[in-house]
């Protein structure tokens, strides 16, 4: 039997919150659905929760029921421009863990200043879709291990795509790569969304840092977007990632909003 959590809110309305699956909760009052909760596990293993209710007074009922059924730590993401949502999660024990800045990134090389940027000597850039899968997977694994051994992959922008355990490259056609000899030394992932392309990741092997590889990858990807008629792209940067912040702000990217990641341990 699915567990049910009967409760009353401040307007004396009986609300029953029931776990209807491993990852979903439903709140019902007067035979009508008045809210729902959802849990999803990210590729890095963290469990993220969300609550959607018709009335703000039902938030605590749904969230508390979820907390009773799930083991900590639990995570959630809110728009920093919505302080009411942040306060609601903090009220039930969540605390701010980190902030991600959102950037609108211009693609016009006359604006970015990337028009004349070339890869370092001996390095070539392969356009999205040209990378071979095996060396791409190998590079992805190397940069992830390097990030994990330093700042930790959890400091990177949140990735929400469901994928099989251990799979990190879902669609190789989204990646342009920097190649030196027979090795891939850097990558950039751009998802071509209808409204605005999203730069999901720019990463360079540690032994090729500070050579201009990341800047060359960005120049290549943004240049292709510009030639296809796309004026801007979107990128998210963790507040503490000063190198990425400097990279994007140095090409004229405009900060546009932020999200907060909260955790309950």
- Judged against a pLDDT cut of 70, whether residue 73 lies above it is answered with yes
Q: Which residues contact 233 (CB under 8 A, 6 or more apart)?
A: 104, 105, 107, 190, 196, 197, 198, 199, 222, 225
* Residues 76, 111 share a domain: no
Does residue 134 fall inside a structural domain? yes
Q: How many domains does the chain contain in total?
A: 2
Instruction: Answer whether 0.75 is exceeded by the pTM.
Output: yes
- The residues, any chain, with a CB within 8 Å of residue 100's CB and separated by 6 or more, are 157, 158, 236, 237, 238, 239, 258, 259, 261
Q: Does 223 fall in a domain?
A: yes
* Domain interval for residue 229: 101-259
Q: What is the largest CA-CA distance in the chain?
A: 72
Report yes or no: 76 and 89 within 8 Å, Cβ to Cβ.
Answer: yes
Whether residues 123 and 95 share a domain: the answer is no
Task: Single out the residue in 84, 100, 116 at which a domain terminates.
Answer: 100
Q: Are residues 61 and 113 in the same domain?
A: no
Residue 1: pLDDT over 90: no
Looking at residue 87, which CATH number applies to its domain? 3.40.630.30
Taking only Cα atoms into account, the Rg of the chain, rounded to an integer number of angstroms, comes to 22
The tens digit of pLDDT for each residue in 112-161 reads 999 999 999 999 999 999 999 889 999 988 988 887 776 555 555 544 44
Tell me: do 240 and 149 sit in the same domain. Answer: yes
- Report pLDDT for 171: 81
Burial of 135 (0-12, 13-18, 19+ CB in 10 A): middle
Q: Does the pLDDT value for residue 168 go beyond 70?
A: no
Do 80 and 156 share a domain, yes or no? no
Given a cut of 90, whether residue 101 has pLDDT beyond it is yes
Q: Tell me the mean pLDDT in the region 97-102.
A: 94
What residues does 129 pair with on adjacent strands? none
| 129 and 248 assigned to the same domain | yes
User: For the range 90-95, what are the long-range contacts, defined as Cβ-Cβ under 8 Å and sequence gap of 24 or more?
Assistant: 90/262, 91/60, 92/60, 92/63, 92/64, 92/67, 92/264, 93/67, 93/264, 94/262, 94/263, 94/264, 95/262, 95/263, 95/264
Which strand (E) or helix (H) includes residue 142?
helix 133-149
**End residue of a domain, out of 100, 118, 143:** 100
The Cα–Cα gap between 253 and 193 comes to: 19
Contact 38, 162 (CB under 8 A): no
- Tell me, yes or no, whether 57 and 118 share the same domain: no
Question: 96 and 113 in one domain?
Answer: no
| 116 and 218 share one domain | yes
pLDDT attached to residue 161: 45
For residue 246, is pLDDT > 70? yes
């Amino acid at each position: 039997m699915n567990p049910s959590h009967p409760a009353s809110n401040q307007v004396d309305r009986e609300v029953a919150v029931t776990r209807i699956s491993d990852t979903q909760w439903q709140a019902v009052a007067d035979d009508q659905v008045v809210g729902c909760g959802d849990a999803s596990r990210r590729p890095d293993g963290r469990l993220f929760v969300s609550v959607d209710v018709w009335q703000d007074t039902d938030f605590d009922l749904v969230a508390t029921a979820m907390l009773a059924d799930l083991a900590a730590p639990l995570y959630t993401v809110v728009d920093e421009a919505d302080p009411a949502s942040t306060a609601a999660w903090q009220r039930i024990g969540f605390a701010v863990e980190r902030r991600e800045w959102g950037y609108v990134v211009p693609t016009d090389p006359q604006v970015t200043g990337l028009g004349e940027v070339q890869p370092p000597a001996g390095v070539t850039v392969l356009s999205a879709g040209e990378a071979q899968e095996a060396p791409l997977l190998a590079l992805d694994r190397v940069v992830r291990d390097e990030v994990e051994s330093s700042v930790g992959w959890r400091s990177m922008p949140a990735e929400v795509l469901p994928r099989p355990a251990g799979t990190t490259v879902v669609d190789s056609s989204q990646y342009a790569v920097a190649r030196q000899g027979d090795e891939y030394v850097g990558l950039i992932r751009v998802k071509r969304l209808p409204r605005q392309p999203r730069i999901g990741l720019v990463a360079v092997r540690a032994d090729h840092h500070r050579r201009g590889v990341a800047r060359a990858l960005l120049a290549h990807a943004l240049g292709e977007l510009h030639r296809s008629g796309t004026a801007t792209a979107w990128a998210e940067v963790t507040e503490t990632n000063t190198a990425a912040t400097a990279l994007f702000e140095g090409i004229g990217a405009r900060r546009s909003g932020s999200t907060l990641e909260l955790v309950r341990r």
